[in-house]
Structure 1
Amino acid sequence: MIFSALIGDKSTFIAEGKSWHCLLLLFNCSGLESDLKSLFETTWKNSLKHQGAQMSTSPMKLSKDTASNGDDRSKGEMVELPLTSYTPEEEKAVLRKIDMVILPFMCFVFFLQYLDKQSLSYAGVFGLIEDLNLTSSQYSWSSSIFYVGQLVSEYPFIYLMSRLPLTKFVGATVIIWGIICMCLAAPNNFAGFATVRFLLGFSEGAVSPAFVTITSIWYRKQEHNLRTALWISMNGLAQVLGCFLMYGIGKSSSLTIAPWRVLFIICGAITVAAGVAFFFLMPNGPKDAWFLNAREREVLSLRMAQDRDGGDKTSFSFAQLKETLMDPKAWIIFWFRVLVCMQSPVLTFASLVIKSIGYTKLETMLYTAPSGAVQIVLLWIGAGLVYIFPNQRTLVVLVLIIPPLIGTVFLLKLDVAAQWGLIVASWLASCITASMTILLSLAASNFKGNTKRAVVNGMFFIGYCAGCIASPQLWTHSPRYTEGVITSIVTWCLLFAVVILFRFLCTWDNEQREKQAANHESFDVNHHLELDENGLPQTDLTDKQDRHFRYVW
C-alpha cells in the first residue's frame, strides 16, 4: 500500500516538501502509530522553526486506502491536502499588504487619540483656565479625571474585547469619543468640563490595549517592535501638529467663540470620521482580511503559526485569568506602565511652564512643538537599537531612560532665568514614548492565551491610568512644580530597577525551559492533535503551559 511505501522512506517524504499534515492522516491508521509518533514529533518541532521553504504551486494529492479502523474510505480515491509551506516572496507580499492596510488605520486612530487627549494642554494656554475660572488644583483634576474614566472602562472593555469582534467594538468607541470630544466645547464651569473629560477617557479606554492585541494578531514577534513604534510615534506627531493647529486657530481673528472651543470641535469631528472608516474597513482578523486572497490568508495563518499563536478567539478563560494574576511578570508589566506614566504631567504642563517664563500664547505653541519631534527621534533611535540588538530589548529601555531622566534633573536644577535651558529640558523630559514603545512590545511578545493576553494588556493600561491619575496631583505649584519633578526623578530610577528584574525573570525562565527541552520533558504529541482546516494546531495555550515558548527580553 502507498502508506507502507511512505513509511519506508521518511526522509524522502519530508525532503520533497510534503505537508506534515499528511502524517496526521497516516497517524490515525491502525498499525502505524508507533512508527509515525517519532516522525511526527520531529517534523512538528521542525515545522515551527521552518521559515519560507520553497513549495510546489499546487496541492499535493495522495491515494487513500481503506483504513483498518473501521471508517468508510474508498480504495484508490485521490485526496487533496492543504499546503503548509510558502515562499519568502509570498510572505513579503502578504506583509506588505498588511502594512499598507492595517498600520495606517492604527496609526491614524492613535494619532487622534493623543491629539484629543493632549488638547487640554493647548486649551490651557488659550483661555480655558480663565474662561472656566479653574484653580491650579482643578486644572490638575481636569487632567487626572480623564484617566479615571479610562481606568473605570478597562475591566468591562477587557471582557467585551475578548467576546465581541474586536475591530467593530473599537470602531464604535472611536465614533463615541469623537462625539464626546466635540462636547468639550460646551461647558462653562469645572463640573461640566470634568464630567465630559471623564466620559472622554471612558470612551477611549479600548484603543491602546486593543492595538497591542491587534499587533500580535497580524504580526510575528520579531515584527512587533517596529510596528508598535510606528503607531506609538503618532504621539510625537500629534504633539507637533496639535501645536501648529492651535497656533493657526489662535491666530485667526474671525472666530466667534473661544479658540480652545474651536479646537475641541475640529478634533472631535475628524475623530468621528476616522471611527466610521475604522468600523467598516478594518478587518477583525486574518479570516476577514478583505485585502488578501485565499492563498494570502493561508500564508498569513501559516506564518503566525510559527509563533505558536492560537489565533483570534472570543472565549474567556477564568483559568487563564487566575494564572495571569499569579504571574509576577504580568505584575511587572503593570508597574512598567505606572512608573512611566508618573512622568505624563510633563506633557500636560510643559506649555504652561514655557508660557510662565515670559512667552506669548503663540510663541508657547511654537516652542512646545519641537518636543514632539524630539520624542519621535528618540523613539526611532530606540527602534533602531532593537533592530540592531533584537534580543536586548530591556537593555535598550535602560538606555532610553537616561535622556528624560537628565531632562527632568535639569528642570529641577536650572534657574527660571535660564529660559532656553528650561525649554530644552522640557523637550528631553517629555520623551516618554521611546521607552514606552519597547515596553509595549514586551507586553505583546511575552504572553500567550487569548484571555491572558487580554488581561495583561488591560493590566498594562490600568497601570497607565493609575500613573496618569496620581501624578498630576503633584504638579500644582507653578512655575517649577518641584514636588512633581522630584517624583519623576524617583520613578525613572525605580523603572530602571524594575526593568532589570524583568530581564532576570525572563532569562531564568528560558534557561529552565531549555534544560527541560534537552531532557525531552516537555513535548506531548497528543496535546497538538486538535487541528483546524489547514492542519494547524487549534490550541489556546498560555505562555506558562506552552513549554516551547521562549520569553523575549
Structure 2
Amino acid sequence: MTEYVDKEKSASFKDTAIVAHDGVVDEGYDIYAQHVGTIKGEGRTAEEQLGWERKSKRVAGKFDLYLLAMMCFLVGVNYIDKAALAWAVLFDLKTDLHLVGKEYSWVSSMFYFGYLAGQIPSMYATAKLPLAKVISITCMLWGALMLATMGCKNFSQMMAVRFLLGFTEAPLVPSLVSYTALFYTKKENAVRTLIWGAMQGTFYLIFTLVAYGLGHIKNTALKQWAWIYLVLGLISVALGVGWWFLPDTPIQARFLTEEEKVIAVERVAENMTGTKGHAIQWYQVWDALKDPMYYLSILYVFLAMVPNGLSSFNTLVISSFGFNQFNTLLAGLPSSIVSAGSLLAWGIAARKYGGLRTLGMVLPLIPAIAGISAVYATTYGNHPKWGRAFCYWLINSYAVTWPFLQAHIGVNFAGHTKRAFVYGSVLVVFAAANIVGPFIFPAGSSNYSTALAIILVFFCVQAVIAVLIRVYMLWHNKRRDRLYGKVDRKAEMEGALEGLQDKTDRENTAFRYVY
C-alpha cells in the first residue's frame, strides 16, 4: 500500500533536505531535493502515481534504446579483443613470433600486469572524470594497440604491446558498471548487466566464424593471425568514437525532456548510491577497508578469475581432444552458445523474480563443476572427442557469475570514492588472478589434467564464498532493521538524499543490501 503524507510535512522535509548537505553532493542532488515532496507517491493520487510509473518505464526504454545497445557492443568487442590471442595462436602466432617454452603464457599474462598497473589511474578516472568520455578514450586507445599488434615481430615487442593493452583497458569495467548504475534502478540493473554480459558469448560466437574465415586468407603481406587484429582494431576505434557522444549522466541525456531528466534522477536516487560526484573523499577508502563485504567480494573475484586462464588456452585444450586447427574453432563455438544462452536465461529469470544476484553467483557453477569434472575424469583412455567437447561446453556456464558479481558491486557499495576504490581493488585482484591463471597450464603439453583439477577446486570454493556473501547480507539487513527500524517511504527518501550527499552504505542508515 502506498504511504501518503500531507503536503505541509512534505514541503517542510523538502526545505530541510535542500540545506542538509555539507557541500559534498551529487550532480543530481538539487533536482532530487527540489522534487522530493512529489516522488513516487508523496503528494500524488493513485492515478498520478500510475502515470509517474509509466513515465519511468518510458525513460528506462529510452536508456535501453540509446545506451544499452552501445554497452552491449562495448562488452562484446572488448571480450573478443582479448579472445583474439587464442584465435591467433591457432594460425602460427607462436611460430611467427618465435615463442618458446612459457613465453606464450607470459604473453597472455602480461596483459594483466598492465591491467594491474592501470588500477590507480583507473580509480581516479572513474571517481572524477565523465564516464562516457573515459570509456570512449579507453576504447580508441585499445583499438589503436590492437592495430599495433600486427607489427610485432618477437616476444619482447608482443610483451610491450600486451602490457599497454592491459593498462588502457583498466578503466573499462569500473566505468561501465558505474555507468549502468547511473541510469538504471537496482531492480533493472542486474537484468541490464546480464544482457550486456551475454554479449561476450554472442560476439565470441560471431567472431569465431569471422576468425575462421580470416584464417583462410593466405599469400598476402599480412600474416593470417594479423588479419584478426586488423579487423578487431578498426572496430574498436570506431566504437570508441561512438561512445564520445553518449551522455555522462542522466541529467546530460539530450534525448530526454526536462521532465524525464527529473524522473531519471528520481529513479536512481533511491538506489542510495548517487549518480555522479567529482570529489575524492579518502575516509571512504577506510570505510571500505573496515567492511567485511569488501573482503568477501574480492576473495570471490580471485576464485572466479584464476579459471579464466581457459580464455587463452581454450583452443589448445579443445585441440588436445584430437581436433585440427579449423575444427578446433568450430568445436569451440557451442561454448559461446552455452555462455550467451545462460546469461540470457538468467537475465529473463532476474527480470521476472528480482535481481537474484547471489543465486546467480553460485547456481551457474553447478553445470560448470559437472562439465570440468567429466573432462578431467576422461583425461586418460580412448574417450570420444565429441563427448569430451560436450562436457567442456558446459564449463562456460560459469561466465554468468561475473556479470552478477558486477551487478552486486554496482548496487551494494555506496559513496563515489568507496565504490571506485572497491572497483579498483576488485580489478587488482582480477588482474592478479588472470596473471596466475595461464601458468596453471603446462607449456607444450597435450595433457591439461592438472590445470583442470585446480579449476575444479576453485569453482567449488567460489560457490561456498557466494553462499557466505548471501548469508552476511541477510544478517546485516536484519541487524539494521533492529537498530534503525524497517525502511518505510520517508526513510527511503531520506536514504536517497543521503546517497546523493555522497554517503557510504555504512553511513546511510536506510541502506539495505540487495541480494
Contact preservation (8 Å) 1:119, 1:242: no
Residue correspondence of structure 1 range 164-175 to structure 2 within 5 A: 164-175=129-140
- Tell me the distance in 1 between the aligned counterparts of 2:458 and 2:263: 44
Q: Does 1:20 align with 2:1?
A: no
Letter in 1 for 2:304: V
Q: Does 1:286 align with 2:250?
A: yes
Q: Does 1:88 align with 2:53?
A: yes
- Tell me the distance in 1 between the aligned counterparts of 2:495 and 2:392: 56
Letter in 1 for 2:456: I
Residue correspondence of structure 1 range 27-106 to structure 2 within 5 A: 50=41, 87-106=52-71
Of 406, 411, 428, the residue aligned with 2:375 is 411
Residue correspondence of structure 1 range 144-543 to structure 2 within 5 A: 144-253=109-218, 255-279=220-244, 281-390=245-354, 392-415=356-379, 417-418=382-383, 419-477=385-443, 478-518=445-485, 538-543=500-505
Superposition TM-score, scaled by structure 2 size: 0.88
Q: In proportion to residue count, which structure has more helix?
A: 2
Residues 1:462 and 1:50: Cα distance change in structure 2 (over 3 Å): farther
Q: SS of the residue aligned with 2:397? A: coil
Residues 1:52 and 1:453: Cα distance change in structure 2 (over 3 Å): farther
Superposition TM-score, scaled by structure 1 size: 0.83
Q: Which residue of 1 aligns with 2:24?
A: none
Letter in 2 for 1:448: A
Contact preservation (8 Å) 1:286, 1:297: yes
Higher relative contact order (CA 8 A, sep 6+): 2
Letter in 1 for 2:237: V
Contact preservation (8 Å) 1:342, 1:487: no
Residues 1:180 and 1:260: Cα distance change in structure 2 (over 3 Å): same
Residues 1:250 and 1:19: Cα distance change in structure 2 (over 3 Å): farther
Residues 1:375 and 1:160: Cα distance change in structure 2 (over 3 Å): same
Residues 1:180 and 1:25: Cα distance change in structure 2 (over 3 Å): closer
Identity of aligned residues (%): 27
Contact preservation (8 Å) 1:411, 1:480: no
Larger mean Cα displacement after TM superposition, 46-55 or 367-376: 46-55
Residues 1:130 and 1:167: Cα distance change in structure 2 (over 3 Å): same
Residues 1:26 and 1:421: Cα distance change in structure 2 (over 3 Å): closer
Kindly state the Cα deviation for residue 458 of structure 1 after the two structures are TM-superposed.
Answer: 1.8
- Tell me the distance in 1 between the aligned counterparts of 2:17 and 2:92: 74
Residues 1:125 and 1:377: Cα distance change in structure 2 (over 3 Å): same
Contact preservation (8 Å) 2:271, 2:411: no
Greater Rg over alpha carbons, structure? 1
Larger mean Cα displacement after TM superposition, 45-54 or 420-429: 45-54
- Tell me the distance in 1 between the aligned counterparts of 2:369 and 2:269: 40
Kindly state the Cα deviation for residue 215 of structure 1 after the two structures are TM-superposed.
Answer: 1.0
Q: Which residue of 1 aligns with 2:89?
A: 124
Kindly state the Cα deviation for residue 310 of structure 1 after the two structures are TM-superposed.
Answer: 2.8
- Tell me the distance in 2 between the aligned counterparts of 1:201 and 1:160: 16
Residues 1:116 and 1:518: Cα distance change in structure 2 (over 3 Å): closer
Kindly state the Cα deviation for residue 482 of structure 1 after the two structures are TM-superposed.
Answer: 2.2
- Tell me the distance in 1 between the aligned counterparts of 2:363 and 2:110: 32
Contact preservation (8 Å) 2:491, 2:510: no
Kindly state the Cα deviation for residue 398 of structure 1 after the two structures are TM-superposed.
Answer: 2.1
- Tell me the distance in 2 between the aligned counterparts of 1:49 and 1:287: 19
Q: SS of the residue aligned with 1:358? A: coil
- Tell me the distance in 2 between the aligned counterparts of 1:257 and 1:120: 16
Contact preservation (8 Å) 2:90, 2:315: yes
- Tell me the distance in 1 between the aligned counterparts of 2:82 and 2:204: 10
After superposition, give the CA deviation of every residue in 1:421-456 in whole Å (9 maximum; x if it has no partner): 221222122333211121111111211111111111
- Tell me the distance in 2 between the aligned counterparts of 1:528 and 1:168: 32
After superposition, give the CA deviation of every residue in 1:282-313 in whole Å (9 maximum; x if it has no partner): 11101111111111101111112222343211
- Tell me the distance in 2 between the aligned counterparts of 1:445 and 1:245: 37
After superposition, give the CA deviation of every residue in 1:472-520 in whole Å (9 maximum; x if it has no partner): 1111252221221111011111111111111121111101111123399
Kindly state the Cα deviation for residue 27 of structure 1 after the two structures are TM-superposed.
Answer: 10
Contact preservation (8 Å) 1:448, 1:541: yes
Residues 1:327 and 1:102: Cα distance change in structure 2 (over 3 Å): same
Letter in 2 for 1:458: G
Contact preservation (8 Å) 2:198, 2:341: no
How many matched pairs?
A: 494
Contact preservation (8 Å) 1:171, 1:276: yes
Q: Does 1:544 align with 2:511?
A: no
Kindly state the Cα deviation for residue 385 of structure 1 after the two structures are TM-superposed.
Answer: 3.5
Kindly state the Cα deviation for residue 530 of structure 1 after the two structures are TM-superposed.
Answer: 12
Letter in 1 for 2:306: M
Of 73, 96, 99, the residue aligned with 1:108 is 73
- Tell me the distance in 1 between the aligned counterparts of 2:491 and 2:318: 62
- Tell me the distance in 1 between the aligned counterparts of 2:478 and 2:467: 17
CA RMSD after TM alignment:
3.1
Q: SS of the residue aligned with 2:118? A: helix
Contact preservation (8 Å) 2:128, 2:279: yes
- Tell me the distance in 2 between the aligned counterparts of 1:223 and 1:248: 38
- Tell me the distance in 2 between the aligned counterparts of 1:204 and 1:498: 28
Residues 1:219 and 1:24: Cα distance change in structure 2 (over 3 Å): closer
Residues 1:13 and 1:383: Cα distance change in structure 2 (over 3 Å): closer
- Tell me the distance in 2 between the aligned counterparts of 1:489 and 1:124: 25
Contact preservation (8 Å) 2:218, 2:224: no
Residues 1:254 and 1:294: Cα distance change in structure 2 (over 3 Å): farther
Q: SS of the residue aligned with 2:102? A: helix
Kindly state the Cα deviation for residue 356 of structure 1 after the two structures are TM-superposed.
Answer: 3.3
Kindly state the Cα deviation for residue 132 of structure 1 after the two structures are TM-superposed.
Answer: 1.3
Q: SS of the residue aligned with 2:214? A: helix
Residues 1:14 and 1:181: Cα distance change in structure 2 (over 3 Å): same
Letter in 2 for 1:550: R
Q: SS of the residue aligned with 2:436? A: helix
Kindly state the Cα deviation for residue 537 of structure 1 after the two structures are TM-superposed.
Answer: 7.7
- Tell me the distance in 1 between the aligned counterparts of 2:142 and 2:108: 16
Q: SS of the residue aligned with 1:118? A: helix
